[in-house]
């Protein structure tokens, strides 16, 4: 790994500090940890605020689209990981001008769970919100499952057009409506030539040989739907455009805007070669290109590759697209960048305060066991990363390791806390440490299920009730069903073992639960994944072990070892 960084764990915070120092008249921090960043003039009275967000590693997305005629705020997660609900909420409060706030971001589970929770927090503050998801990647799901598609470079059109509508003073319902129309109309597909390397992982997210290309690549390094020999630029463009045009089904003469996007390491010259062929092909099909965009708009760290997006235009969208816009990273239509004096809110040099509380005290029996389990989990990070990289973005190892460390810190602050309080704190810490889909689902489940042990974790009936409620919460929030090849399929058989427990010792019971979970993993590995990012690989997910199921089985094995002593 060759990167210009210091400590990998400091990468995001250090580049954010650099951006805030470089653009003090245009951007300001809205939270002490600098993970909520807004326009310098955010919170203008009567204007709808627009908040976006997602993982780092995609500059200029998402932070680059905070500016005049664009979004008003952003919540910034770790590399390829969702921001936390608290960070989204901080951005929401900072951009609210009394007209409501639109949440506009990509269709990823972790982002959805955390933005939804932020919306609940905003509602408690009296701030109305609306949500629009970008889901433009045609390679990630067929047309009949369009709602399952992931958001990629086409989301830039939604930022630009919704931002123009809000700048004109449109009400929240109308801004959300035009953003939704753009999101539903845009189509994107990409090609990858080399993987990306997460700073904290020190390994590529997937392997691709020289002379090969991956069609349908995701912006987190997710594998695509076809791998084959590298083709000439014209053949690549033809392949991508065939998928886009078929999915759009536009009549001859339709006006469109085209965005050719580089993934981070592709020379601009090569992007123009792709655009050249794109223009010729669309002209031959009778489609008229207006307002083309060529450059880097949504990247994937240092990945080589490109994507093509198409947005069909009508008179309203054409006018909004032409409106001026400007941020430190994006200018269009002659827009001027903001240049105002920073306000008195949290600035780039404010130090985040961590409320640690007093540590010490004798650990409860539950705390003592969980501390041993949590200490053991980071050793499995690399294996989980490898499994996740084959089906998703490769961050599960980081999620489990950082979540375990954060949960352990939460326990040590008050190890003698009642069991329900302890579990609630563990869930919150795990969800916030690296707010991925897995973290949000598991952390939220622990918080919800902690109510089942409010009287103390005194017998197996309490344990079973806790586990059942956690299972139900994950199912409700994640939307998966048994057989979809998700963590639910590992939890379900182990839960049956727990609920049928008789005279076994605790160690024997957990051993039986682990065996049941591992059997489910073996049975479902040959099946295709039907939910989450792994489902975007469709048939290529067959034969791949589900990383979430594996993480749960690992937890049970470490729990059994901790109980056995």
C-alpha triplet 273, 279, 283: angle, nearest 5°: 155
How far does CA 82 lie from the centroid of its chain? 4
CA-nearest of 439, 541, 449, 448 to 487 is: 439
Q: What is the pTM of this model?
A: 0.74
Contact 537, 226 (CB under 8 A): no
Contact 342, 42 (CB under 8 A): no
What distance in Å separates the CA atoms of residue 9 and residue 199, rounded to the nearest whole number?
8
- Indicate the pLDDT class of residue 440, thresholds 50, 70 and 90: confident
DSSP, collapsed to helix, strand or coil, labels residue 256 as strand
User: Which pLDDT score is estimated for 283?
Assistant: 96
Burial state string for 436-450 with b = 16 or more CB within 10 A and e = fewer than 16:
bbbbbbbbbbbbbbb
User: Which pLDDT score is estimated for 456?
Assistant: 60
C-alpha triplet 227, 229, 234: angle, nearest 5°: 100
CA-nearest of 84, 98, 121, 105 to 176 is: 105
CA-nearest of 470, 467, 439, 457 to 547 is: 439
Strand blocks (E) in 317-458: 325-326, 331-332
Residue with tokens 């392997």: 207
User: Which long-range contacts link 22-27 to residues 24+ away (Cβ below 8 Å)?
Assistant: 22/328, 23/328, 24/342, 24/348, 25/338, 25/339, 25/340, 25/341, 25/342, 26/67, 26/327, 26/328, 26/337, 26/338, 26/339, 26/340, 27/66, 27/328
Cβ count within 10 A of residue 501: 16
Quick check: 228 pLDDT over 80? yes
Contact 87, 111 (CB under 8 A): no
What distance in Å separates the CA atoms of residue 121 and residue 115, rounded to the nearest whole number?
10
Mean pLDDT of 489-510: 93
User: Which pLDDT score is estimated for 459?
Assistant: 78
* 177 or 435, which is more confident: 177
User: Which pLDDT score is estimated for 355?
Assistant: 38
What distance in Å separates the CA atoms of residue 151 and residue 115, rounded to the nearest whole number?
15
Quick check: 171 pLDDT over 70? yes
Q: 212-215 and 187-194: which strand pairing?
A: antiparallel
What distance in Å separates the CA atoms of residue 108 and residue 83, rounded to the nearest whole number?
12
Q: Is 89 among the catalytic positions?
A: no
Quick check: 244 pLDDT over 80? yes
Quick check: 236 pLDDT over 50? yes
Quick check: 127 pLDDT over 90? yes
Quick check: 338 pLDDT over 80? no
User: Which pLDDT score is estimated for 448?
Assistant: 83
* 452 or 28, which is more confident: 28
Q: Running DSSP on this structure, what letter comes out for residue 541?
A: G
Quick check: 299 pLDDT over 90? yes
Contacts of 184 (CB under 8 A, 6+ apart): none
Contact 181, 132 (CB under 8 A): no
User: Which pLDDT score is estimated for 362?
Assistant: 87
Give pLDDT tens digits for 388-415: 988 877 889 999 999 999 999 999 999 9
Q: What domains are there in the chain, each with its CATH number?
A: 8-183 (3.40.50.10440), 190-293 (3.30.1180.20), 365-564 (1.25.40.340)
Q: How many CA atoms lie within 13 A of 107 on its CB side?
A: 28
Quick check: 102 pLDDT over 60? yes
Contact 189, 263 (CB under 8 A): no
CA-nearest of 187, 149, 36, 28 to 101 is: 36
How far does CA 465 lie from the centroid of its chain? 31
User: Which pLDDT score is estimated for 454?
Assistant: 73
Quick check: 132 pLDDT over 90? yes
| Catalytic residue (one of 23, 58, 89, 220) | 220
């Amino acid at each position: 790994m060759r990167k210009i960084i210091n400590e990998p764990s400091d990468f995001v915070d250090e580049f954010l500090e650099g951006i805030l120092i470089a653009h003090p008249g245009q951007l300001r921090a809205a939270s002490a940890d600098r993970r909520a960043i807004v326009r310098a003039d955010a919170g203008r009275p009567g204007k709808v605020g627009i908040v976006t967000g997602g993982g780092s590693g995609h500059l200029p997305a998402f932070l680059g689209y905070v500016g005049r005629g664009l979004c008003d705020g952003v919540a910034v997660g770790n590399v390829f990981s969702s921001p936390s609900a608290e960070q989204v909420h901080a951005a929401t409060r900072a951009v609210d001008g009394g007209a409501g706030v639109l949440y506009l971001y990509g269709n990823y589970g972790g982002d959805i769970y955390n933005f939804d929770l932020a919306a609940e927090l905003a509602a408690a503050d009296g701030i109305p919100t609306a949500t629009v998801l970008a889901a433009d990647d045609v390679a990630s799901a067929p047309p009949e499952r369009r709602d399952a598609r992931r958001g990629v470079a086409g989301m830039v059109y939604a930022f630009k057009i919704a931002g123009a509508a809000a700048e004109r003073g449109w009400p929240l319902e109308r801004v959300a409506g035009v953003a939704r129309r753009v999101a539903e109309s845009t189509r994107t597909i990409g090609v990858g030539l080399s993987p990306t390397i997460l700073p904290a992982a020190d390994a590529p997210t997937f392997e691709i040989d020289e002379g090969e290309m991956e069609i349908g690549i995701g912006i987190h390094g997710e594998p695509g739907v076809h791998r084959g020999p590298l083709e000439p630029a014209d053949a690549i463009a033809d392949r991508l455009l065939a998928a886009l045009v078929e999915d759009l089904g536009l009549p001859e003469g339709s006006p469109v805007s085209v965005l050719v996007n580089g993934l981070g390491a592709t020379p601009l010259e090569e992007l123009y070669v792709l655009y050249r062929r794109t223009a010729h092909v669309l002209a031959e099909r009778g489609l008229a290109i207006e307002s083309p965009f060529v450059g880097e708009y949504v990247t994937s760290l240092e990945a080589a590759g490109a994507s093509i997006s198409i947005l069909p235009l009508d008179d309203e969208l054409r006018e909004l697209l032409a409106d001026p816009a400007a941020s430190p990273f994006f200018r269009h239509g002659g827009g001027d960048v903001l240049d105002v004096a920073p306000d008195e809110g949290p600035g780039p040099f404010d130090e985040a305060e961590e409320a640690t509380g007093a540590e010490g005290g004798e650990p409860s029996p539950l705390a003592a066991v969980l501390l041993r389990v949590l200490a053991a989990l980071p050793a499995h990070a690399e294996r989980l990363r490898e499994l996740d990289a084959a089906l998703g973005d490769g961050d599960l190892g980081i999620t489990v390791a950082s979540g375990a460390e954060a949960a352990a810190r939460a326990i040590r602050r008050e190890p003698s806390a009642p069991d329900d309080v302890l579990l609630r704190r563990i869930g919150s810490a795990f969800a916030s440490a690296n707010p991925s889909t897995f973290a949000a689902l598991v952390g939220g489940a622990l918080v919800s299920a902690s109510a089942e042990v409010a009287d103390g974790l005194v017998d197996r009936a309490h344990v079973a009730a806790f586990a059942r409620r956690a299972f139900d919460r994950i199912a409700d929030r994640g939307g998966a069903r048994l057989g979809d090849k998700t963590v639910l399929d590992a939890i379900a058989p182990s839960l049956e073992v727990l609920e049928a427990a008789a005279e076994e010792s605790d160690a024997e019971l957990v051993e039986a639960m682990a065996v049941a979970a591992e059997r489910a993993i073996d049975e479902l590995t040959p099946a295709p994944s039907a939910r989450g990012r792994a489902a975007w690989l469709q048939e290529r997910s067959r034969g791949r072990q589900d990383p979430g199921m594996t993480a749960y089985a690992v937890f049970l094995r470490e729990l059994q070892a901790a109980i056995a002593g």
